[in-house]
């Protein structure tokens, strides 16, 4: 019999050191950005999608920089209180670093930032556990958009179906979800399979700092970005 391979043991101290190193690098990068950019914003993320965020980063690479990471680490980077603030009153942004959020460093004017963020937003597929914002009712009948090889998968998702001469047929009208429902894994997959993008990726500005002055961003700016 072949000898069994021994499991490779990774020392916990090595993992902890790596984690600490990553945190230190994030703090260093944020503090370096303070030297290169005049304005700092905090923002909240909704229905985050990595590909869209990367596109935004590339579009604004010439004048801005976005940071995401552990909220407490970002607070440490800018300062949690007046004593540790890296710039005058910069610590006043720390209370806005809650939930799924980030920091935006930029040399754009306030008007340019608000105009750009008003255009940021894209429909995306809702995920398991999210609240349905619209209903999806499937009408009984043939489903020619799906090959017969999808039969087992669709059946596992709870659809009452049969095969008729190689065509998948939905036996009856079926409600996948209604507004207010918490989406199950099956419902989320069906929304995607039927091309229903019921969620929206958004970045809402929450606070702004420049030249020693920190202010909350008015909610009206966020509301305009939703239109």
Q: How far apart are CA 220 and CA 127, in angstroms?
A: 28
What angle do helix axes 71-78 and 12-36 make, rounded to 10 degrees?
50
Does residue 210 contact residue 46 with C-beta atoms inside 8 Å?
no
Closest CA to 99 of 145, 68, 128, 131: 68
For the chain, give every domain's residue range.
16-125+200-226, 136-193
> For residue 216, which phi and psi values (nearest 5 degrees)?
-75, 140
> What is the CATH T-level fold of the domain 16-125+200-226, as seen in this structure?
Alpha-Beta Plaits (3.30.70)
Look at the domain 136-193 and name its fold. Answer: Molybdopterin biosynthesis moea protein, domain 2 (3.90.105)
Query: In CATH terms, are 16-125+200-226 and 136-193 the same topology?
Result: no
* Global pTM value: 0.76
Q: Are the C-beta atoms of 221 and 207 separated by less than 8 Å?
A: no
Cα–Cα distance for residue pair 97/44, rounded to 1 Å = 8
Nearest-Å Rg of the Cα atoms of the chain is 24
E strand map for the chain: 39-46, 64-67, 101-106, 122-124, 136-138, 141-142, 161-164, 167-170, 174-177, 199-210, 213-216
> For every one of its 227 residues, what pLDDT tens digit does the chain have, with 9 covering 90 and above?
444 445 555 555 555 665 888 999 999 999 999 999 999 999 999 998 999 999 999 999 999 999 999 999 999 999 999 999 999 999 999 999 999 999 999 999 999 999 998 888 889 999 999 999 999 999 999 999 999 999 999 999 999 999 999 999 999 999 999 999 999 999 999 999 999 999 999 999 999 999 999 999 975 444 444 44
SS3 letters for 104-170?
Answer: EEECCCHHHHHHHHHHCCEEECCCCCCECCCCEEECCEECCCCCHHHHHHHHHCCCCEEEECCEEEE
Beta bridge partners of 200: 123
């Amino acid at each position: 019999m072949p000898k069994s391979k021994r499991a490779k043991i990774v020392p916990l101290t090595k993992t902890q050191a790596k984690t600490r190193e990553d945190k230190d690098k994030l703090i260093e990068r944020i503090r370096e950005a303070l030297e290169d950019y005049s304005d700092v914003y905090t923002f909240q993320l909704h229905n985050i999608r990595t590909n869209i965020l990367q596109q935004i980063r590339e579009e604004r690479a010439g004048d801005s920089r976005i940071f995401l990471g552990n909220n407490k680490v970002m607070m440490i980077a800018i300062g949690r209180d007046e004593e540790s603030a890296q710039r005058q009153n910069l610590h006043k942004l720390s209370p806005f670093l809650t939930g799924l959020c980030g920091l935006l460093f930029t040399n754009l004017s306030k008007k340019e930032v608000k105009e750009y963020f008003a255009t940021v937003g894209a429909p995306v597929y809702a995920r398991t556990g999210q609240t349905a914002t619209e209903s999806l009712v499937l009408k009984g009948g043939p489903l020619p958009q799906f090959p017969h090889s999808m039969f087992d998968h669709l059946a596992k998702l709870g659809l009452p179906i049969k095969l008729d001469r190689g065509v998948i047929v939905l036996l009856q009208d079926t409600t996948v979800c209604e507004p207010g429902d918490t989406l199950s894994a099956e419902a989320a997959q069906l929304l995607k399979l039927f091309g229903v993008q019921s969620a929206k990726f958004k970045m809402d500005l929450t606070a702004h700092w420049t030249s020693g002055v920190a202010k909350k961003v008015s909610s009206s700016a966020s509301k305009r970005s939703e239109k």
